[in-house]
Homo-oligomer: A and B are copies of this chain.
């Protein structure tokens, strides 16, 4: 058994050269699309609606609109979202189940995409594997720039009696836009997925020790190791083909520190979920929730109060009033790249890390002081 590491267990080693943070370049690219901010907003109904997608695009990042949620099930999703955020704790589970039992409407897919595109923003959308074959062409035709096909664990080969599995190589032929697929965590699974012709890959399954996936079924790989292994697959595939598939670490990132370590582990970008649910502009209005899981016998995720505590711009770029690393993620990345001597994200991939567990000390006093002396 190999030891796998999470964000809490490693630390970045400063470089022999340092760079002024304002000289670092943090852009990342998916096929022919380049983004100045290497951060994706997760395709969750509490986080991304068309307005949030437009705002994210203006700030240089990329928000992914969930085509399997309230935006495409309801003409007026804002009413449904208001219902969720106003429901009592007692009634919210039943409400969520009712809301997500409505069918997805194809005309709404086109409508949402067009709203985003008309604002001049880049439009990424997400689908679950079961509906991808049917709906990806709809999104493609409506002008979506990127499609994300996402499930908890995704492989290039899926064995099923009930339906013929989604063939990613066929999907890549079927749509003109870049395809991002996930999630995966191993060298083997990542390499096979890349060989289907996809343009990006999402890394992260059961990333946190306290993650539901790990608690319920015991499956998961901590994110530092998962990202490193998938990055090795990306590099192997690049050597073989000359094609560079973007690696996006998704899940488990709670602080600027975690984000910096994801890049040092090999990520080209990161996908943020619960952090961005705290943006004042997020449609969840201070709440976040998971969507109903395909298998109702193993429910995962209920509505959680996260608080709408800062604007998206402040979360990404500061200024920050907190000292715990939960704001100004871009500033943290640039500062880390500066002290590690990384001019671009690809230099950050080469930064050394040490294994240095975050043992919690009890003396709160010393915790506060250590940042000073």
Contacts and interface: CB of A to CB of B under 8 A. Distances in A.
Interface of A: 1-23, 42, 44, 152-162, 184-186, 188-189, 192, 205-222, 225, 250-252, 254-261, 264, 271-274, 277, 288-290, 295-302, 304, 306, 317-321, 323-325, 328, 331-333, 335-336, 339-341, 343, 352-363, 365-373
Given A16-B155, A300-B323, A358-B359, 9 more contacts: A1-B5, A3-B355, A14-B205, A17-B157, A218-B260, A219-B339, A254-B363, A288-B369, A360-B362
Residue from the set A208, A306, A328 with the largest chain B CB neighbour count within 10 Å: A208
A331 B205 contact: no
A14 B185 contact: yes
A192 B18 CA distance: 13
Nearest to A47: B373
11 contacts: A3-B354, A20-B158, A209-B359, A209-B361, A210-B361, A215-B324, A218-B256, A254-B366, A288-B372, A296-B319, A358-B359
A362 B359 CA distance: 12
Contact of A209 (B212, B221, B357): B357
B319 A356 contact: no
A331 to B, nearest CB: 5
Given A14-B189, A207-B370, A273-B373, A219 B19 contact: no
B14 A184 contact: yes
A21 B210 contact: no
A356 B222 contact: yes
B219 A153 contact: no
A252 B372 contact: no
A370 B252 contact: yes
A161 B216 contact: no
Contact of A12 (B184, B218, B264, B272): B218
Contacts of A298: 318, 320, 328, 331-332, 335
B20 A161 contact: yes
B358 A44 contact: no
Contacts of A318: 297-298
A366 B217 contact: no
Contact of A304 (B8, B155, B288, B365): B365
Nearest to A20: B160
A35 B301 CA distance: 33
B295 A331 contact: yes
Nearest to A358: B209
A16 B301 contact: no
A65 B348 CA distance: 36
